[in-house]
Structure 1
Amino acid sequence: MFSPLRFAFHTILLLVVLLPLAVQAQTSSQNPALSIIGKLGINAVNISGMVKTDQFLALATDEGTQIQILPQSSQGYVATNSGVIDLNQTQRAIKEFDLEAMAWQKPYLYVIGSHSKKRKKLKLDWSVKKNMERITPVIDEPDRRVLFRVELSETLKPLHIDKISLLNEIKNDPILSPFLAIPSKENGIDIEGLAVREHNGKTQLFVGFRGPVLRGNLTPILKLTLRAKRFEVKKSKLLLVNLGGFGIRDMQAMEDGFLLLSGPVNAVPNRFSLYAWDGKTQLSPTHEKLALPTQQNEGNPEAIATQNLPGWGQGIWMAKDGAENGDIRFYPFTPK
């Protein structure tokens, strides 16, 4: 089984060897593409979260309120309307939850919203006065403050959907709470990573923040211990990792640690990297061995899932926001 923290030098935080995205972009057609059969019932160009198992593929989008489960067949993953799950269990119309990440621990699929506020974008054809009026208010988005737990049957149908918010956990943390008033993309609260693991018989969720990034280039990760008999946070603890000034875009639990996909806090095109992390606070800077710059108009890395692919070895499936169906492709840790 893959064990990223056994790589060289025994450092706490290691950069996983991955093909530079500049090279990947040039040879992406040679990388295995994940086959999706049929048309997605969710927004196909804004894939923001992914879970991949031997039985199914689950996808989330940051537009709307739905996720989709795609059962695996011999030809790929099959998209049908019956696999679409609406997480809005109220009678109220909700525009979006801004779903950003997913994690799987049988029989539960966890899906999280960004918990962020926003500022409207500029309209380039508007006057300065109208634009100033447009961008002045900070818009509260309470529907984004959600964490779902979806119980799936053996036939991949939703049996029960639970929902909580992490607002109190964020408010009660002295480091995170001041950032609640700040919009996302301006170093405010912006959740984009989620991982789950079992530890000493207890379920733990790790929540990764795209923003804020703190002084000293420290990125927050909130470790949550869940109650055994109901979907509720029993205990939370803030951890910090030094990712060189970048936030977390996704994360994946591994045998003895986690993979962290890092990227810029704002929307400016920049580099993305993949790190291995042992689950403990790491304040010291990490020597960045690889920068993974994206190419314009090809989408940004947004979600990852690990696999040992026959003929390719250990690596990740990576989905991109802004690409059709996420353009999900496999990237080996060791170049072929």
Structure 2
Amino acid sequence: MPARPVTRPQVASTLPAEAAKAPASVIRATASEKVAGQVDLDFNDHDPGTDEKPIGDDVSALARIGDTLFCATDEGSAIESLAWDGKAQRYGAHRCLPLADVFDLPDGDEGEMDIEGLAIDDGWLWIVGSHSLKRSKLRDGDDLSRLPEIKTDRNRCFLGRMPLVERTPGMFEPVKRDGQRRAAALHIRKDGSNAIRRRLGKDPLLAPFMRVPAKENGFDIEGLAVVGDRVFLGLRGPVISKVAMLVELRIADGGRGGLKLAEVTEGLDYLLHPMLLDGLGVRDLLYVDGRLLILGGASMGLSGPQAIYALDAMPARGHHLARDRIHRVMCLPIVDGADHAEGIVTHTDGSTQLLMVVCDSPAPARRKDPRALRADLYRMP
């Protein structure tokens, strides 16, 4: 049954009162967690001699199941698959999985999807694009008249899932169809919108930011967590009065390779959960061991504080999360102009579960091999 239209705000309160009263706590680089180790992601079939940027420069999302690590970049329209090599202590055996071979993307494989979230739940690989707008970059010699140019890449409004098949022990592959399970996605209209942008575009808090480009505190999805039929989207922007937003949706099978939004609770087809993250936006989400880890970073394209937060218990369906249950559990190093933490995922070393952090705009020390990216490992907070 299609979701009923909602005319009232779907957030617990306009903004939490404590956001206006208390200053954000200071995140100091000197308080950053000590790196417990490092591991290489080896994109060995990528040709670094072409004009195309190396894949390791733009890794924006991660998800792991068994010995298989899925990565995505914020350029292109593919998922990268890597396999854990215990002897070499690295992820390799790189495979590229073009999503245009599976889904009917409005701009085909040439359109940038800006994939910013991956999640695995119940045998499905979920994928979400940023759903954001972008502004033309101002380059040397350009005049300011180029700044007003705001562009829409229709492929960015993607939310879909693919069934996972275990080909060999620990090695998984996303496929178009597995028995009764088939890949499916929300429909993207010709104008580049989908049900998410249309619904949230009517929200009193978010509506003013829907036409603002990403990295200018505009609407920008950069985190994905899935728990059953509950889908949580972390917003890098907007951050409103120091408050970040977590969007909760309920996704149902729409038939014929489609997905649809369903009611989260009676009369509501989405919920906004405000979160105090020291004024940071969401850069990634990871649901693990019954709690939600939140990677926080600057909402705009700046070097600045970055940290990991934990939500100890997920809210019951239809209820707003208790903001006092979110705690900062780890501070990450700040590197001016580089190493912007972009993705988090678990990594298992023997019987020890670690947290892997991958950075965008990697510092040269992470790119000694042009085909690889070095990620940091931390003790699980």
Determine if contact 1:48/1:100 at 8 Å carries over to the other structure: yes
How far 1:143 sits from its partner (Å)?
2.1
In structure 1, the residue matched to 2:191 is none
How far 1:150 sits from its partner (Å)?
1.6
Q: 2:160 aligns with which of 148, 153, 174?
A: 148
Distance in 2 separating the partners of 1:287 and 1:78: 35
User: What is the RMSD computed on CA atoms of the aligned residues?
Assistant: 3.0
Distance in 2 separating the partners of 1:144 and 1:46: 16
How far 1:163 sits from its partner (Å)?
2.0
Distance in 2 separating the partners of 1:263 and 1:197: 24
In structure 2, the residue matched to 1:213 is 239
Q: 2:205 aligns with which of 175, 193, 203?
A: 175
SS in 2 for 1:188: coil
Determine if contact 2:138/2:146 at 8 Å carries over to the other structure: yes
In structure 2, the residue matched to 1:12 is none
| Residue type at the aligned position of 1:85 | L
Gaps (5+ residues) in structure 2? 1-27, 48-53, 168-172, 178-182, 187-193, 264-269, 316-320
Distance in 1 separating the partners of 2:92 and 2:96: 12
Residues 110/21 of structure 1: CA separation in 2 closer, same or farther (3 Å cut): farther
Per-residue CA distance 1:296-315 (angstroms, 9 max, x = gap):
3542111001245448x543
| Residue type at the aligned position of 1:167 | R
Distance in 1 separating the partners of 2:239 and 2:332: 19
How far 1:33 sits from its partner (Å)?
1.3
In structure 1, the residue matched to 2:356 is 317
In structure 2, the residue matched to 1:3 is none
**What count of residue pairs does the alignment treat as equivalent?**
302
Determine if contact 2:309/2:327 at 8 Å carries over to the other structure: no
Q: 1:279 aligns with which of 314, 318, 327?
A: 314
| Residue type at the aligned position of 2:184 | D
In structure 2, the residue matched to 1:77 is 91
Distance in 2 separating the partners of 1:286 and 1:105: 23
Q: When the two structures are superposed, what TM-score results if normalisation uses the length of structure 2?
A: 0.71
The residue correspondences of 1:120-131 to structure 2 (distance < 5 A) are 120-123=136-139, 125-126=140-141, 130-131=142-143
In structure 1, the residue matched to 2:302 is 268
Residues 286/147 of structure 1: CA separation in 2 closer, same or farther (3 Å cut): closer
Determine what percentage of the aligned residue pairs are the same residue.
26
Per-residue CA distance 1:217-270 (angstroms, 9 max, x = gap):
111111111225753221321111111211000011123320000000111100
How far 1:131 sits from its partner (Å)?
2.4
How far 1:140 sits from its partner (Å)?
2.5
Determine if contact 1:221/1:238 at 8 Å carries over to the other structure: yes
Per-residue CA distance 1:129-175 (angstroms, 9 max, x = gap):
x4211102222232211112122222214134322142223224332
Per-residue CA distance 1:278-325 (angstroms, 9 max, x = gap):
3343556978676434213542111001245448x5431111112344
Residues 40/221 of structure 1: CA separation in 2 closer, same or farther (3 Å cut): farther
Per-residue CA distance 1:1-47 (angstroms, 9 max, x = gap):
xxxxxxxxxxxxxxxxxx968866xx75x613145373458722100
In structure 2, the residue matched to 1:187 is 217
Residues 144/289 of structure 1: CA separation in 2 closer, same or farther (3 Å cut): closer
Residues 183/152 of structure 1: CA separation in 2 closer, same or farther (3 Å cut): same
Residues 142/316 of structure 1: CA separation in 2 closer, same or farther (3 Å cut): same
Bigger mean CA deviation after superposition, 266-275 or 170-179: 170-179
